[in-house]
Amino acid sequence: MNKVIVITGASSGIGAELARQAGAKGAEVVLAARRQAELEAAAARSGSEALAVVTDATRRADMERLRDAALERFGRIDVWVNNAGRGISRPVSELMDEEFDEMMRDNVKSALYGMQVVLPHFKERNAGQIVNISSGLARLPVVPFRSAYSAAKHALNALSASLRVELQQAHPGIMVSVVMPGVVATDFNSKALGGADSHSLPWAQSVEDATKVILDVIENPRAEAYTQPATKGEVERYYRDVAAFETEISARFKQLPRDGAPAPRLARG
């Protein structure tokens, strides 16, 4: 894979695994995150030329510095993956102002900064791909206590689609892709505000399998992908009858969980 790939949120989980898999295929990877020790360890597993850049994705200046470091080392950027983010377990009725603001900052503004800082480089070349890591919760209200996180991912999907349309005529060589994982066996849920461990959930997708889908979107660019094939069918079912779907979900949450545990997966059919 002859690509230079920048990945935010790359010190663990999906970001670190994406760097490892891409590096194993020959890509030059630039890993960005706030935790230096973990970031450098992930870079060491991602190829001899992997570059680790300590970055706070919620700061525009840091994202600009990340772009400049990648260009200085490799001379170009082919793919920019906005993977940094954070979850929360709080129903709408209990959300605090600062919690909602934090979700928008960590999940939406961080990706907006990434898109905006790399776009001039992509436009100059009329080539490049932005990959925004969203969530199945951007389409399905299956976990009501993930309300603000879901709202942030809805916003990220909307920004991605709007940018895709904006670029289509003048810069057709630039692709904006959205990948929507479901529950993945990483530390993401345990690091969420009020979160819980997802490693032991029987329906959690392995980080290796989820990441393979992201890598496939890079190798075969397209607008959207779900890491779990069944999610697309659930989304189609939701939009066929929103009321019936939401009634089904509501019945599973007669009392909202207080421990932030992820909801059971939907029955298929």
Catalytic residues, by residue number, are 149
The sign of the dihedral angle between the CA atoms of 127, 116, 158, 3 is positive
DSSP 151-213: HHHHHHHHHHHHHHHHHHTT-TTEEEEEEE--SBSSSHHHHSBT----TT-TTPBPHHHHHHH
Phi and psi for 127 in degrees, rounded to 5?
A: -160, 145
Q: What single-letter DSSP state applies at residue 88?
A: B
φ, ψ of residue 203 to 5 degrees: the values are -95, 0
Q: Residue 79: which H helix or E strand, with range?
A: strand 79-82
